[in-house]
Structure 1
Amino acid sequence: MLTLTYVAWLNPTCLVGIGVYLLMRVFKKKNPAPYPPGPPGLPLVGNVLDIPQVKPWLTFTKWGKMYGEISHVEVLGQHTIVLNSVKTAMDMLDNKSMVYSDRPVFPMAGELVGWKDSLLLLSYGGRFRRYRKNLHRVIGSRAALDIYRPIVEIETHRFLKRVLTTPDQLQERIRHTAGAVILRISYGYEVKESSDPFINIAKRANNQFLQSIAPGAFMVNYLPFLAKVPEWLPGAGFKRLAREWHEIVQEMVSAPYNFAIDEIAAGDAPMSCISAMLEGQTPTAEEHDIARWSAVSLYGGGSDTTVSAIYSLFLAMTLFPDVQKKAQAEIDAVVGPDRLPSLADRASLPYIEALAKEVLRWNVVTPIGLPHRVTEDDVHDGYYIPKGSIIIPNLWLVPPLVPFMLHNPETYSNPSQFNPERFLANDGKKPETEPRTICFGFGRRICPGIANSQKRLLLAESSIWISAAMSLAVFDISKVVENGVEITPEVDPSSFTISHPKPFKCSIRARSAKAIALVQQDANY
């Protein structure tokens, strides 16, 4: 991996890049307003040493404390603007969405690794709108979601069985179940019970995607012309790595799609994204390509984000037993001990609804989201935002730093605590701000499948809700005791685009003999 270290600067490729950048600086035009404040950079190369490669939201939060709601850095001519307040993010990304809805060009991830046609990296335009129309049609309304509700419930029930048998493999069981749900909905594919090839390929491809867009990881993301250099050139090892990763992306895009097409041709296809998108058509090559990439956008994103959220749910229940007891009391009173909760119970379980919201707020799945890109020069609040700037909304905090957005103490009381009651109206006190108005993204890059009038991501929310309701109905989740010592898990999120809790141990036990019987019932209902 070619990183921004002093060693990298010795490569001839990097030296050429610096020369090109210096020439650009000579002909730089005068700005109509000052840039937003930010850390002072080095002469010529700017903030090359300030770009964080590990947990960037920590650095961004420090900048927010020092410089305010908008901060700015520049690396080799690439401007990056960090937004540290909800108001600023809404004003820029929502209210000015016409010019703030593009994506940055990531040469490593896009051109070289092969993600350029994915919804996440696709430039805003006609093809982007066709993807979103496809996805909204199949998962973006309650009527559409009703079609897939049995899949979510059946696979979550199967998750309970797996956890009951192997509670020490919680994270892998969550990943398996998230993959099972999204593959059935996307392609009509039912996963194998263990080591499913499509789940495995999604895990590898998603991990490599996150590496390929990490800040400061690859010089080619700052100097795009490096994508054209030959592999044998010193410092061009990133191209060999990209070639290997490209093969994995192609397999992820093509293999499940070909499975679905074969099922449709044989007349055996169940309802799925692919069957709905191609129903009654004789697709052209372009239409096949649109359908293939629309589905893989759902498959890739859904197979990882839901894993993070549900793993965070189990972490919260381990750390906050009083919340777990209140949730179980509500389930016991409303649902009773003779059946598992279903999505039909959702309106009758307001505490579980609030708990699912708190999962989205407490351990943010996307702590800084995927960056936006400005398509025109703009002046916002007196600051110059040049065309091509990368815009990063910072959703995260880590105490004792000043928290932002979903952890702002001016918006959320005691924000580090997991407290579902903050979203319930109690004793005349209004609920705190809905997290889903922020956590699913902004403007025209908001997550696909969103119900726009409510800003609700129906499929993701349903998966989190039913996982919470079913799991708490039958399991007690607690800290592990080893050699007489209670082990308290550490709250320490990982990556910057999709953040997973640090692996932790917890005890998961059936609440009763009746709970075991419920779990062991046939899940095919």
Structure 2
Amino acid sequence: MAATSAVVVIVIGLLTVVYISRKNGKKMDKLLKLPLIGDLHSSPIEKPLANWDCWARQNGPIAVPNLFGIIPIVVLNSYEAATELFSRRSQWYSNRPPSVSMEMITGAAPGQSRFTLMHDYDDHLKLHHRILSPSLGALAAPKYQPLMELEAKQLLHDLVNALRHSPDGSTISTDAIYPLLERTQSSVILALHYGLRIPHPDENILHEIIDIQVQVTHLAANPALPDLIPPLRHLPAVLSPWKRAADRLYAAQVDLYMRLFHHGRDAAGWNATKQALSTAAKYAPASSSSQVQVPDLDLAFTLATSIQGGMETSPRQLLWLFIAALHHPSFVARAHAILDEVVGRDRLPRFSDRAQLAFIDAVAHELFRWRPIAPGSIPRRADRDDEFQGVKINKGVTVMANAWGIGRDEQVFDPALGDLQEFVPERWLREGDAGQERLRSDLPLPVFGQGRRICQGRRVAIDGTFMQVASLLWAFDVEMVDGAGPVDPWEMVVVGFMTMPRERRFKLKPRGDWVLDVIKKEWETAEKSLDKVMGMADIE
């Protein structure tokens, strides 16, 4: 009893100190900088990454700055450093730093967050990676690629309708386009995982999911006091506002994720929920007497982690296509010529065209390099004392790969092919058989991570981006609004760990009446039944 009272007194004292320091200290707007990396350099509010390149160059391939001036953090600024630590030495760099909040909001023990993204790399995580893999890899592509084609058709249809409400029939803004991109990606992800299409941006279930994601992302990007003082997690709810808030968010997540899980389980056609149940039954660890089943709640959170990664990132990533088209318009003209030659003007692009559309794939890959949606990547933890290039890495320190800097590594991306600050799709191309261009496979996409923690949804993200880029460039010209100032691609907004362009008005013009005719025809005749689009329950 005395020990408990002492803990409470200490905690109250700490809270008082923190409260007073926050009241007296300079108040910072958390939306104006990126977590971790935003505290390592000083950039203008409207250009939160303007000084990040300079910082990375000054500090070399591996740097150990002090976060907030007191907490050491290892930043990997080169592909060589990230490959050495995260791939070759992955056994010591595959766990996550402690995140008490992410554990509290999933009802989990230390290192055991039900969000697979934040879970330590142990047998549990390996099993759940194995459970998701059949639904996100190459074997599932024939099921989800027709879905992506369907959603790309609706995206074009929705954009044409939006342009009809524009005073001049062509002016639109990135903020107006974002909900349409969000609906497109959300429908792909939710149909893939649960057999649930989202036909309209105002669907209640979509906004329920987004509201939960906003809360989770904010908490991940803005650590609470228990993240700084872990013993606070043990306080009872009556004394802990963090525990009360975490319990409420956990209950809301359980309710939502289990409803989605049951929808997927009961749907007629194939989806990742059904595949996960089958894979879990096959590979769950066996005891001496019976098969140990993976709890439905754990599966529900694993699937939810996957949809969060897919729904939040891709719409923001694709907004940069319009900024690139305004800032570097030459690639758009080349894309138009290639699409006209390969696809023609009497139908929309398909995945069956992809082998002849290496340049479109290059545009998609360059988007991921030029403006990685998570410039600082998801941090990891060093699990032993180590050293690389003379830099000591202490056990327990947070290690992060600078995805932004790695995408500008001159040892990997040849600057002779184009300034690494510029948008140059050609850097992803090589000459193939008979002189035909092929997409290079030897260049990294650091935004997806490396080693054992590489993003499982990488294939889905790249495929979806390819289809949407191909469809948008097939259909539209992207032009400046009359009298508008030059585009500054450094202007961006921080959302959690992600960046997106600041709002920009521009002209999105159908390339001709033939575009409107084809979009109308293909949307009206499109098969919209998921059972037929993705197939019935053909479980591996």
Give the TM bin, normalised by the shorter chain.
0.7 to 0.9
1:328-343 matches, within 5 Å, as 328-343=336-351
CA distance in 1, matches of 2:16, 2:279: 56
CA distance in 2, matches of 1:111, 1:280: 28
CA distance in 1, matches of 2:368, 2:450: 15
Amino acid aligned to 2:129: R
Query: 2:504: which partner in 1?
Result: 504
Q: Does 1:101 align with 2:94?
A: yes
Query: Please, what TM-score do these two structures have when normalized by structure 1?
Result: 0.79
1:68 to 60, 82, 86: 60
Amino acid aligned to 2:213: N
Q: Secondary structure at the match of 2:400?
A: strand
Q: Once the two structures are aligned, what percentage of the paired residues are identical? A: 23
Q: Does 1:440 align with 2:458?
A: no
User: Contact 1:122/1:128 (CA < 8 Å) preserved in 2?
Assistant: yes
1:228 to 226, 234, 238: 234
Query: 1:212: which partner in 2?
Result: 219
Change (3 A) 1:514 1:64: closer
Query: Please, what TM-score do these two structures have when normalized by structure 2?
Result: 0.77
1:153-172 Cα distance to aligned partner (Å, 9 max, x none): 00111111011111442101
User: Contact 2:41/2:55 (CA < 8 Å) preserved in 1?
Assistant: no
Q: Secondary structure at the match of 1:151?
A: helix
Q: CA deviation at 1:356?
A: 1.2
Q: CA deviation at 1:510?
A: 1.2
Across the aligned residues of Structure 1 and Structure 2, the Cα RMSD in angstroms comes to: 3.4
CA distance in 1, matches of 2:324, 2:445: 22
Q: CA deviation at 1:174?
A: 0.2
Q: Secondary structure at the match of 1:337?
A: coil
Q: CA deviation at 1:100?
A: 0.3
Once the two structures are overlaid, the 10-residue window that deviates more, 472-481 or 434-443, is 434-443
CA distance in 2, matches of 1:308, 1:472: 17
Amino acid aligned to 1:203: I
User: Contact 2:428/2:440 (CA < 8 Å) preserved in 1?
Assistant: yes
CA distance in 1, matches of 2:455, 2:132: 10
User: Contact 1:332/1:473 (CA < 8 Å) preserved in 2?
Assistant: yes
Change (3 A) 1:58 1:385: farther
- Where does the alignment leave 5 or more consecutive residues of structure 2 unmatched? 1-10, 20-35, 164-171, 283-291, 528-540
1:93-126 Cα distance to aligned partner (Å, 9 max, x none): 1110001000112112332466821111011111
Query: 2:400: which partner in 1?
Result: 392
1:121-143 Cα distance to aligned partner (Å, 9 max, x none): 011111111121122112212x3
Query: 1:277: which partner in 2?
Result: 276
Change (3 A) 1:232 1:114: closer
The count of corresponding residues between Structure 1 and Structure 2 is 463
Q: Secondary structure at the match of 1:150?
A: helix
Q: Does 1:294 align with 2:287?
A: no
- Where does the alignment leave 5 or more consecutive residues of structure 1 unmatched? 1-9, 19-46, 264-268, 397-403, 450-456
Query: 1:7: which partner in 2?
Result: none
Query: 1:140: which partner in 2?
Result: 137
Amino acid aligned to 2:501: P
1:173 to 161, 174, 180: 180
Q: CA deviation at 1:337?
A: 0.6
Query: 2:430: which partner in 1?
Result: 425
1:40-85 Cα distance to aligned partner (Å, 9 max, x none): xxxxxxx9x9567988866765543443222222679854211111
1:196 to 196, 203, 217: 203
CA distance in 2, matches of 1:340, 1:137: 29
Query: 2:521: which partner in 1?
Result: 521
CA distance in 1, matches of 2:103, 2:41: 21
Query: 2:386: which partner in 1?
Result: 378
Amino acid aligned to 2:376: I
User: Contact 1:61/1:84 (CA < 8 Å) preserved in 2?
Assistant: no
Amino acid aligned to 2:208: I
Query: 2:421: which partner in 1?
Result: 416
Normalized per residue, which structure has more helix?
Answer: 2
Query: 2:470: which partner in 1?
Result: 469
CA distance in 1, matches of 2:426, 2:280: 49
Q: CA deviation at 1:341?
A: 0.8
Q: Secondary structure at the match of 2:508?
A: strand
